[in-house]
A and B are shown apart, each in its own frame.
Chain A
Amino acid sequence: SAVISQKPSRDICQRGTSLTIQCQVDSQVTMMFWYRQQPGQSLTLIATANQGSEATYESGFVIDKFPISRPNLTFSTLTVSNMSPEDSSIYLCSVEATDSVATEAFFGQGTRLTVV
């Protein structure tokens, strides 16, 4: 399994500001993902972070609101832009290990964001 470190672990931010969350993996991985987990809810995929190209966003998420960088195979950032209280969630970085028969997803500890 991969060891995934996220920074910051939590933050309280003013509405209208932006926060960049970093995700560092201890090994090179092909697939990196960003999820959002709203209070009391399950995990919702925001986007796939593609190395060397633009991220692939899921329905309901756009690049202007959640810009993502993936400069190499061990690092990615997610920015939550122009924040509002509705953006208060846990944001999780994930990597997948996959082969022809199996897929496993591993998660960082998450970033708990509160927007006031």
Chain B
Amino acid sequence: GQQLNQSPQSMFIQEGEDVSMNCTSSSIFNTWLWYKQDPGEGPVLLIALYKAGELTSNGRLTAQFGITRKDSFLNISASIPSDVGIYFCAGASSSYDKVIFGPGTSLSVIP
């Protein structure tokens, strides 16, 4: 079945540093979604990508939809303590009407 891989699995960074994480798949998706989950909360949608090559920003967050439609990355610039959480990528395709989630990247920010 369809499966997503995320890397790295976890990250420990200093406050103010930039962060980069990515997501890959063996299948093609026509939508890529990035979520952040805080402890005890449901995932919150950060960025949605709809076209191959698309680069979209949301504040300090930037995400790109890979040209092959099999990958995406998320960058966070100038990290702050509230960026701590688990970041999930997710993909959806017209041939499969469910959203598939990656295993997540756990981000820790050291003040």
A: residues with CB less than 8 A from B are 1, 4, 6, 31, 33, 41-43, 45, 48, 90, 92, 94, 96, 98, 100-110, 112
Q: Closest chain B residue to A33 by CB distance?
A: B98
**Is B21 positioned at the interface, with any CB of A under 8 Å from its CB?**
no
Secondary structure of the A contact surface, majority rule? strand
User: Interface of chain B, helix or strand or loop or mixed?
Assistant: strand
Q: Which 5 residue pairs across A and B have the least CB separation, nearest first? A: A107-B42, A103-B92, A110-B42, A105-B99, A43-B101
Bound-complex Cα distance A57 to B99 (A): 14
Q: Is the Cβ of B90 less than 8 Å from the Cβ of A105?
A: yes
**B68-111 interface bits toward A, Cβ cutoff 8 Å, 1 = contact, 0 = none:** 00000000000000000000101010100111011110000000
> Which residues of B approach A to under 8 Å, CB–CB?
30-31, 33, 35, 40-45, 48, 50, 88, 90, 92, 94, 97-99, 101-104
Give the residues in chain B near A109, CB-CB below 8 Å. Answer: 41-42
Distance in angstroms between the alpha carbons of A45 and B97 in the assembled complex: 12
Q: Is the CB of A43 within 8 A of B43?
A: yes
Give the residues in chain B near A48, CB-CB below 8 Å.
98
In the complex, what residue of chain B is closest to A4 when comparing beta carbons? B42
> Could you tell me the distance in whole angstroms from the C-beta of A80 to the nearest C-beta in chain B?
17
- With A101-B30, A101-B50 known to touch, is A106 a contact of B99 (CB < 8 Å)? no
A42 to B88, CA, bound (A): 8
For residue A5, give the distance in angstroms from its CB to the closest CB of chain B: 11
Contact A105:B104 (CB < 8 A) given known A31-B97, A110-B42: no
List 23 A-B pairs, Cβ < 8 Å: A4-B42, A41-B103, A42-B88, A42-B101, A42-B103, A43-B88, A45-B98, A48-B98, A90-B42, A96-B99, A98-B97, A102-B48, A102-B50, A103-B31, A103-B97, A104-B31, A105-B90, A105-B99, A106-B45, A107-B42, A107-B44, A109-B42, A110-B40
